[in-house]
Structure 1
């Protein structure tokens, strides 16, 4: 399901989804297509659902025109033991 379709069906609502298709722009992953899981009624429930998310699942508000996920580069730990 395209993100635009999710926004039309669930305006101004938190939703839980998995990424199906995305692309990278600079240091962000831009989501094009999602596997919709469920709508979430309010911010409090959204936080609870966010904490229960498995790898690849996200909670996002449909007020945003597109889903952007900031990519973080893992550098690692240096030092002596």
Structure 2
């Protein structure tokens, strides 16, 4: 489901989603397609559900977002590995 469709179906709600399609550009991840797993009015409950899903299947890409966001654009974080000193 595209983000625009999610926003129409679940206005002014928190949604927990699995990322199905995304791309990276300029240090940002642009999420293009998601599967909505749950929806909530309370961000704390949405975050708890996100952590449950992530703990159960850590290799899947989950997120929780408020549908007031116009786009799903996230800053990418890279963990560095230090070599020998």
TM-score range, shorter chain: 0.7 to 0.9
Q: How many residues align?
A: 80
Instruction: Provide structure 2 residue ranges, at least 5 long, that are not aligned to the other structure.
Output: none
Equivalent position to 2:74, from 65, 69, 72: 69
- 64-73 or 8-17, which moves further after superposition? 64-73
1:8 Cα deviation after fit:
0.3
CA displacement 1:25-75 (0-9 Å, x = unmatched): 201100011011111121221232232232311111111011122211221
What TM-score, normalized by structure 2, do the two folds share? 0.81
Q: CA RMSD in A?
A: 1.6
1:78 Cα deviation after fit:
5.2
Alignment of 1:1-81 (within 5 A): 1-54=1-54, 55=58, 56-77=61-82
Instruction: Provide structure 1 residue ranges, at least 5 long, that are not aligned to the other structure.
Output: none
1:79 Cα deviation after fit:
6.1
What is the alpha-carbon distance in structure 2 between the residues aligned to residue 7 and residue 37 of structure 1? 14
